Structure 1
Amino acid sequence: MATADSAAAMNEADTAANDPTKNTQYVIGAGDQLGISVYRAPELSVPSLPVRPDGRISMPLIPDIVAAGKTPTQLGKELEERLKEYVKDPIVTVMVTNFVGPFSRQVRVIGEATEPQAIPYRDHMTVLDVMIAVKGLTKFAAGNSAVIVRRVGDKRESIKVRLSSLLKDGDIDQNVEMLPGDTLIIPQSWF
């Protein structure tokens, strides 16, 4: 029964990873910071553990395990299975303490943002949320010529957004909802 539950959980994670708009549970990504606690075995607990760029983590007694693409609960169960040979009935809790998320669950901002970056996607995130995170536009930005590039199936869709109108004039109609994987491109103005 436990293997059927594990297989169902992994299948659910795979489905969620393939369609990031339907994912309701947080999926660990490279660059995330994890806190791993092993109940009644503090020597095996790791309070701050980065997920390496290859998506793996290393901890005492478990030299290498894939963390990226799994939910914290799935990773905890896998760590429990691996620790059973060393600890009687291990209980492992995985907490994500610093969020980056997998690439498919990030929103990227490039061009003339004050601090261009990749931002972890949050449900119902809007362009205004993104602009707050990147600290607004540079003085050279052509904000009203910005474009959101969104992958829809095998195609790419471009959505024009007037950032200057949103930020300076309060045109709330420009506050478009973002989706995981979107890229906001802010061009430079031509003087």
Structure 2
Amino acid sequence: MLKSMYVSKWLRWSGLVLVVMLLGACAAGPDVPLSEAPAAQAEPRYTIGPGDQLNVFVWGNPDLTVTVPVRPDGRITTPLVEDVQASGKTPTELARDIEQSLAHYVQNPIVTVTVTNFVGTSTEQIRVIGQAVQPRSIPYRVGMTVLDVIIEVGGLTEFAAGNRATIIRGPTGAQQAFRVRLSDLVTRGDISANVPMQPGDVLIIPESWF
């Protein structure tokens, strides 16, 4: 009887220790060096670029509310505000700048800037050159893949060597090249060839040798 009591207590104590150890392991998480942990991605912010169409809304002042394009020099002109720099700024940053300028003429102006037609800066575009039906620059969208890009440019030409296509990525001087299999993706439906794109990527589609 006494022996059974000791065994029962030992089993309960062992079970408690095991539970504590499991909880501790769960709290600590996997033993991964910090250098290998994935970096948190910053929330994407759209930067205005030449060619963008902007709606500048001034609350309570319809005469000052306009829709204007961003000129090739990156500036816009609105009523009472001439040649304000827009390219390279977010819509919110531009709105604050316009408010500052309007404050000389309007009491406590409230401005909202909305991008109605997107082009973006060159660092936020994806450029497609070579054997695409419509090679051009297209605005980057969050989550865009190489298949989205091919659809945007109308597909590949009959002379394209799709499986020898290359993505050039990174700033000048530190660029990397990645081979992509566009023919397998487009003609065979090989979804494993559908790779994600990043802002500033250049997709080069060479011509077939035959």
TM-score range with shorter-chain normalisation?
A: 0.7 to 0.9
Taking the TM superposition and a 5 Å limit, the aligned residue runs for 1:1-191 are 22=42, 24-46=44-66, 48-151=67-170, 154-191=173-210
Q: Percent identity?
A: 56
The alpha-carbon deviation at position 23 of structure 1 amounts to 5.5
Distance 2:170 2:115 in 1: 27
Give CA deviations for 1:12-45 in whole Å, capped at 9, x if unaligned: xxxxxxxxx8461111111111011111111111
Change beyond 3 A, Cα 1:116–1:22: farther
Size of the aligned set, in residue pairs, is: 170
Change beyond 3 A, Cα 1:153–1:113: closer
Unaligned runs of 5+ in 2: 1-40
Distance 2:209 2:46 in 1: 41
The structure with the largest alpha-carbon Rg is: 2
Distance 1:79 1:86 in 2: 11
Higher relative contact order (CA 8 A, sep 6+): 1
Q: Which of the two has greater strand per residue?
A: 1
Match of 2:49, as an amino acid? Answer: G
Match of 1:49, as an amino acid? Answer: V
Unaligned runs of 5+ in 1: 1-20
What is the TM-score of this pair, normalised by structure 2? 0.78
2:187 partner SS:
helix
Distance 1:152 1:27 in 2: 17
The alpha-carbon deviation at position 122 of structure 1 amounts to 1.3
Distance 1:118 1:153 in 2: 18
Superposed CA RMSD: 1.4
Give CA deviations for 1:62-121 in whole Å, capped at 9, x if unaligned: 111000111111111110111011111111110000001111111100011111111111
Q: After TM superposition, which residue ranges in structure 1, 4 or more long, deviate above 3 angstroms? A: none
The alpha-carbon deviation at position 132 of structure 1 amounts to 0.9
Give CA deviations for 1:111-170 in whole Å, capped at 9, x if unaligned: 111111111111121101101111100111111110001116732111101101000101
